[in-house]
Structure 1
Amino acid sequence: MDLEKTVAIDVHVHAEVSCTDPEDPVMGKFFDAASAYFKAPRQRPTMQETIDYYRKQNMAFCLFTVDCEAGLGAKRIRNEEIADLANANSDVVIPFASIDPHKGKMGAREARDLIENYGVKGFKFHPPMQNCDPGDRIAYPIYEVIAEYGLPAIFHTGHSGMGTGLRGGGGVKLKYGQPMLVDEIAADFPDIDFILAHPSWPWTDESLSMALHKANVYIDLSGWSPKYFPEQIIRYANTQLSHKMLFGSDFPLIRPDAWIEAAKKVGFRDEVMPGILKDNAAKLLGLVKA
C-alpha cells in the first residue's frame, strides 16, 4: 500500500455479496430495510466491484462482514473469502474478520487461525445484530486472542439502520449498541484498540467520554453523513479528540466521496482533516509508526 498516493483510509466498509454463495434470505430482509432507511440502492456491489471503486478513488479501506449466525440465524460470508480477496488486493484492502461472540472458545480458535494463516488485521463486532452484550464473558476468549496479537476491534454503537422500520426491529435490540457497554472490556483489554463505530446517537456523549478517558478507545465517523452529526462530534474532533477520530463511510450505504464532500462543509478545521481522513487510521492500523 502506497500511503503517499492514498488520499484516505475508510475503516468501515461492508462485504455483503459473496463471490460464491447466494444472498441469505434472512439477511435479505435487513438489506431491504437498511436500503429504505438510507435511501440507498438495494443491489449490493460485489467485493470486487467495491475494490475497483475504492482503487479508482485512490482510497484504502478495511473490509469485513458481520457474523450474526447465532444471534439472528443469518448465514455469514466466510471470513476466509474476504481475507483471500483482500490479500490479493493488498494495495487498497485491509482484511478484518467478524466472529459471533456466542461462538466462544470455538470463535477464539477461528480468530487465531484467521490471524496466523489469513493475515487478518482486525475484527468487527455488531452487538445489536449479534444479540449479545459486548461485555458478556462468552466473548472473552475471542478478545483474549485479539489482545494477544495487539489487533484493533470495531464495535457498532448507537442506533442501527439494520432492522429500522421492521416489526420489532427484526428482533434487533438497540440496547446492545450502548457505547458504555464496551467500557468494561476496554479496561480489561488495554492491548486492544477499540473503535466505536458511528456517532453513537443517542449515546454520543458516552463515546466521547470513553475516547477521552481511555488511550485505547477511538471513534469512527461512519454511518451518518457529516451534515447530520451532533455538534459535539465536530467540537471534539477539532480539539481534544482530533487524534482519535477516524474516517469511515459504511459503504455501500454511504459513499466515501459523498461523506468527504459533506465533511468539508460542517466545520472541521483544515488542520484536523488529514488526521481524520488518513493519518490517524494509518497509525492505528500499524501502517506507519505511531
Structure 2
Amino acid sequence: MDLDAIVAIDVHTHAEVSRDGHPSLPRELLEASEKYFKAHGHRQPTIAEIAAHYRERRMAAVVFTVDAEHATGHPRIPNEEVAQGCAEHADVLIPFASVDPWKGRAGVREARRLVEEHGVRGFKFHPSLQGFSPDDRMAYPLYAAIEELGVPALFHTGQTGIGAGVPGGGGIRLKYSNPMLVDDVAADFPDLRIILAHPSFPWQDEALAVATHKPNVHIDLSGWSPKYFPPQLVRYANSLLQDKVLFGSDYPVITPDRWLADFAALDLKPAVRPKILKLNAARLLGLAADDPERP
C-alpha cells in the first residue's frame, strides 16, 4: 500500500455478503439495521466492489465481518475469504477478522492462524451481537493471543442498529457495549491496541474517560454522521485525543462521501484533520514507514 497516494484510511467497513451470496447476519437483523440507518435497499457490496469504491476515492479501508455464531446460530462469512479478498486488493484494503470469543481454545488457535497464515491485521468484536461482556474472563485467552500477535482489537460500543425495532431487539443486549467494560481489558492487557468503535451513545463520556486514561485505547468515529457528534467528542478529538481518534464510516450503511462532507463542517484545527483521516490509523495499524511495530 502506497500511503503517499492515500488521502484517508477508513478503519470501519463491513463485508456483509460472501462470494456465494451468504449474508453476514440473519435477514431480520440486517433489515433492522438498514431501517435504523435509513439505508433501505442499499446494496451489499462484494469485497471487490468495496475495493473499487475506495480506490476511486484514493482511500484505504479496513474490512471485517462479525462472527456471532454462538448467539445467533447464523453461520459467519469465512474470515479466510475476507482476508483473501483484501489480499487481492492490497493497494486499498486491510483485512480484519472476527472470532466469536465463545469458541474458546479453538478461537485462539484460529486467531493465530489468521494472522500468521492469512495476513489478518486486527480483530473485530461486537459484544452485544456476540452476547458477551468484554470483561468476561472467558474472552481473556483470545485477547492474550491478539496482544501477543501485535494487532489491534476493535470493539463495537454504544447502541446498535442491529436488531433495532425488532421485538425484544432481536435478543441483543445493549449493556454489553458499554465502553467501561473494555476498561478492564485495557488495564489487564496494556500492550493490546484497542479501538472503541463509534460515538458510544449513551456512554460517550465513559468512552472519552477510558481513551484519555488508557494509553492503548483509541476511538473510531464510525456509525454516525459527524454533524450529530456529541460536542464533547468533537472537543476531545480537537485536543486531548487528537492522536487517538480515527476516521471510520460504517460502510455500506454510511458512505465515506457522506461522512467526509459532514466532517468538513466540524470546527477542528487544521493540523488535527489529517491525523483523524489518515495519520493516526497509519500508525496504529503499523502502516507508517517509521513505525517500529510495522512488520
TM-score, structure 1 normalization: 0.97
Q: Deviations over 1:143-190 (max 9, x none)?
A: 111011111010000010111111100110000010000000111111
Matching residue of 1:232: 232
5+ residue gaps, structure 2, are none
| Deviation (angstroms), 1:22 | 2.7
SS in 2 for 1:34: helix
Q: Deviations over 1:64-109 (max 9, x none)?
A: 0000000111211000000011111110011100011101111000
Matching residue of 1:215: 215
SS in 2 for 1:30: helix
Native 8 Å contact 1:37 1:161 kept in 2: yes
SS in 2 for 1:13: strand
Matching residue of 1:36: 35
Letter in 2 for 1:201: F
Computed over aligned residues only, the root mean square deviation of the Cα atoms, in angstroms, reads 1.0
Matching residue of 1:130: 130
Letter in 1 for 2:272: V
SS in 2 for 1:97: coil
The percentage of aligned residue pairs carrying the same residue is 55
| Deviation (angstroms), 1:245 | 0.4
Native 8 Å contact 2:22 2:77 kept in 1: no
Matching residue of 2:193: 193
SS in 1 for 2:51: helix
Matching residue of 1:6: 6
SS in 1 for 2:175: helix
SS in 1 for 2:123: strand
Native 8 Å contact 1:104 1:140 kept in 2: no
Matching residue of 1:169: 169
| Deviation (angstroms), 1:275 | 0.2
Match status 1:22 vs 2:42: no
5+ residue gaps, structure 1, are none
| Deviation (angstroms), 1:21 | 4.5
How is 1:266-285 mapped onto 2 (pairs within 5 angstroms)? 266-285=266-285
Equivalents in 1 of 2:89, 2:51: separation in Å?
8
Equivalents in 2 of 1:94, 1:113: separation in Å?
17
Matching residue of 1:286: 286
Aligned residues: 289
Matching residue of 1:74: 74
Matching residue of 1:143: 143
| Deviation (angstroms), 1:5 | 1.0
SS in 2 for 1:205: helix
Native 8 Å contact 1:71 1:100 kept in 2: no
Native 8 Å contact 1:221 1:248 kept in 2: yes
Native 8 Å contact 1:193 1:217 kept in 2: yes
Letter in 1 for 2:28: K
Letter in 1 for 2:35: A
Letter in 1 for 2:37: F
Native 8 Å contact 2:154 2:197 kept in 1: yes
Equivalents in 2 of 1:147, 1:23: separation in Å?
30
| Deviation (angstroms), 1:141 | 1.4
Matching residue of 2:241: 241
Matching residue of 2:59: 59
Equivalents in 2 of 1:223, 1:27: separation in Å?
20
| Runs of 4 or more above 3 Å deviation | none
Equivalents in 1 of 2:40, 2:57: separation in Å?
20
Matching residue of 2:87: 87
SS in 2 for 1:4: helix
Native 8 Å contact 1:128 1:174 kept in 2: yes
Q: Deviations over 1:183-229 (max 9, x none)?
A: 00111111111000001010000110111101100000000000111
Matching residue of 1:116: 116
TM-score, structure 2 normalization: 0.96
